[in-house]
Amino acid sequence: MILLGKNYFTCAPHEGAASIVTSAFNAKIIKSINALIRSAAKTLDADVTEALFALGKLSSDQAGKLCPSIFNFNTLLRDAMTNGDEVNVAILLERAPRVFMCAMPAPSLSVINFGSKPWHDYVYQKQKDTYRYQSESPMELKPCDGNEFLHSERFFVESLGLMRLGSTLFYEHVRDIVSYVTITEGHGCWGLSSIDMFGDIFITKLQDQRNPHVHYFDHVTHEAAHYYLHALMQFDPLIENPPTEEYSSPVREDKRPMLGVYHAAFVLSNVCQNLQAILDSGVELHDKKSFQQCFDVSLAKFNQALSTVEASAKHTLLGKSVTESMRDVSRGLS
């Protein structure tokens, strides 16, 4: 098992950090699946030799990114066992070797259409009735038509190119976390990440006049930061506020548990750092004003969320380190 040092518990990306943290999370998920399979085999008196062999090969190469299907499989098997659903447990055990053999390596960063992967519908159905973004309308997502997808893909790839020119560090940080960027059409959600599909992020295509490069630059940075923090929190809770305590959040109209505000502060710190990097880099931007406006809005929201965290979060020791790093970033932003 990979042990994470204190230096990884920061909102400021540094070289190789995302790869190390992702590898540590991989090992934890593989250990979880191993335990679930062995427990299920005892319950059903099933032969899981082939599944454990395939999982072992996956474990020996866990330094790369795992396919989101592995994280989805862990959730499905855990939930089926918790619910005593022996039929689905048996189906998952039979499917396991194929899932594991196809799970490595995950792509460096591939742009795909919504609905093209088997975990998309599971995550969508799980999230759609509870997820809200600013407005109170429920999430409704669907695949893009062919031309719209190609149009959005082009803008995303160009945005990623700008990120690479502005900050190789941030580009590599995002690349080492994200396997798939899934373009969707719909409303109620601009961007979504879920631990049930770790490494895949949904970004809804633009339907207004916002600069498309800013749109994709902003949201891929935002969702990658969610994943980095999710991974860190598998090793330390960082904050210990009960979910019944609710606070104002700069990215939601409704009040949120401290966990939601903490995530908001963390991801906004990453968005601000990445935007400042490209604004300061000298890279020629077609619409620099839009990048600056996004930075200004994100900075105000970041400082608002950070103020709430500093005032009300009940930190662990490592949680204090993360918040201190956010405070340092806030002081350095202009």
Tell me the pLDDT tens digit for each residue of 254-277.
788 999 999 999 999 999 999 999
> Which tops the pLDDT comparison, 130 or 168?
168
In sequence order, the β-bridge partners of residue 200 are: 180
The contacts of residue 63 (CB under 8 Å, 6+ apart) are 19, 23, 26
- At 55 the pLDDT is 92
- At 134 the pLDDT is 44
Tell me the pLDDT tens digit for each residue of 207-223.
777 899 999 999 999 99
> Which tops the pLDDT comparison, 172 or 188?
172
- At 60 the pLDDT is 60
Helix axes 86-101, 49-59, angle to 10 degrees: 40
Quick one: residue 134, left, alpha or beta (phi over 0 = left, psi -120 to 50 = alpha)?
Answer: left
Mean pLDDT of the chain: 91
Could you give the percent of the chain with pLDDT greater than 90? Answer: 79
Tell me the pLDDT tens digit for each residue of 37-95.
999 999 999 999 999 999 988 876 555 788 999 999 999 999 999 999 999 999 999 99
Q: In 3-state terms, what secondary structure has residue 72?
A: helix
* Mean pLDDT, rounded, for 228-235: 96
pTM score, two decimals?
0.94
Per-position DSSP letters for 214-256, written without gaps between them: HHHHHHHHHHHHHHHHHHHTTT--SB---TT-EE--TT-SS-E
